[in-house]
Amino acid sequence: MTRVLVLLLVVLTALLHLGAGGAGPGDLLAVADGRPATLDERILWELGLPRLVTAALAGAALGVAGHLLQTSLRNQLAAPELTAVNPGAVLGVLAATTFGLVSPDSALGGLGAALLGGVLGGAVTWLLSAGGGPGRAVIAGLLGSALMGGLVTLLLAYQPGRFGNVLRWLVGSVEGRVWDHLVIAVWWIPLWLCVAWAATAVTTLLQGGDQHAASLGLAPRRARLAVLGIAVALIACAASLAGAIAFVGLVVPHAARRLTGGPGGHVPAAALLGAVALVGADAAAQVLTRLIAGTELGHRLGLPAGVITALAGAAVLVAIVYREKNP
């Protein structure tokens, strides 16, 4: 029963997203048939579907990465954007393209640059929080994120003319991604999602504390590094696709853990919910973009999905905090 409902939710969100992009049922059938002929059908195949897949992959990656960070660091506030990993990955992509090291459209180059930047951001947080407890990790993550953000600003100052192009990375957007951008992500993200699921027992033991993990046969430091490595692999790929999407990695894992029974369901639930959240946010972004399309603003920009996740995520977080204060 639950599975049917979940499937229904996923399909509905996907259709909503495609519909928001302007695709009709006829276009869908034509694409499913493998013969996109008319302009609308080709737009669906070449822009609409890649955009949907980008949002689903990035959302799933961020949701699961947030779950891995929160459990292995035992910190409810650990999230891709609050541990400097996501900001670092964005910095990596921007630095690599600004200095002409990789082409902005290279899937491999973008992922490589994002991985380097993500590891850098994570390492800064790790060093700043060394020897401290969970509270210190939060502060270290915020400091690291601020540092990465500062370096991005430095890059922008270096080449102010690129500001318009850079905005999509800073806010987070899944617009304008085509199949060429996705050649690595379509196997990279599912692969690491599977690894994350296979490591469920490891994250569950780490969640119980280092002493708990150690006496049950897990070397906590090494295991934590491995889990963080999985998280960085997911976050970097999501960032190379969609930039600094905020709040999905913070809020989705809480909901996923609350909605599923045992630890075995946490990773699949975080992946599904993350995908649904970002696809839904991007559908809303597309609808809003159409609504403001008539105004002068509408000619200048499409509303990025990152704005919607930031607004909706903040609202959810406030609701959670409020409920914890007033049970």
Partner 1 sequence: MSLRTLGLSFGHGGRPLLAGIDLTVEKGESVALVGVNGSGKSTLLRLLSGVLPPGSGTVELDGRPLARMSRRQIARRIAVMHQALPPVPGLTVRQLVHQGRYPGQGPLGMLRAPGHDPATEEALALTGLTGLADRVLDTLSGGERQRARLALALAQEADILFLDEPTAHLDIRHQLEVLELVRELRAARGLTVVTVLHELDHAARFTDRIVALHRGAVHADGPPSAVLTPDLLSEVFGVAGRVVIDEVRHHPRCIPDAPLPTGGPTRSSAPSGG
| Angstrom distance (rounded) from CA 60 to CA 64 | 6
Binding of residue 263 to partner 1 (CB under 8 A)? yes
In the complex with partner 1, which residue's Cβ is closer, 165 or 215?
215
Binding of residue 209 to partner 1 (CB under 8 A)? yes
In the complex with partner 1, which residue's Cβ is closer, 144 or 268?
268
Size of the site for partner 1 (CB under 8 A): 24
Q: Binding residue for partner 1 (CB under 8 A) from 37, 130, 194, 216?
A: 216
Q: How many angstroms separate the Cα of 325 from the Cα of each of 13, 74, 257, 315, 320?
A: 32, 21, 20, 15, 9
In the complex with partner 1, which residue's Cβ is closer, 1 or 32?
1
Q: Binding residue for partner 1 (CB under 8 A) from 37, 154, 201, 315?
A: 201
Q: Binding residue for partner 1 (CB under 8 A) from 205, 244, 251, 276?
A: 205
Q: Are 231 and 65 in contact (CB under 8 A)?
A: yes
Q: Which residues neighbour 263 within 8 Å (Cβ) at sequence distance 6 or greater?
A: 200, 201, 203, 204
Binding of residue 257 to partner 1 (CB under 8 A)? yes
| Angstrom distance (rounded) from CA 17 to CA 55 | 10
Binding of residue 100 to partner 1 (CB under 8 A)? no
What are the φ and ψ backbone dihedral angles of 69, each rounded to 5 degrees?
-65, -45
Binding of residue 132 to partner 1 (CB under 8 A)? no
Binding of residue 219 to partner 1 (CB under 8 A)? yes
Residue with tokens 């590891």: 119
Binding of residue 2 to partner 1 (CB under 8 A)? no
| Angstrom distance (rounded) from CA 173 to CA 48 | 14
Which residue ranges make up the site for partner 1 (CB under 8 A)?
Answer: 197-202, 204-205, 207-209, 211-212, 214-219, 257-258, 262-264
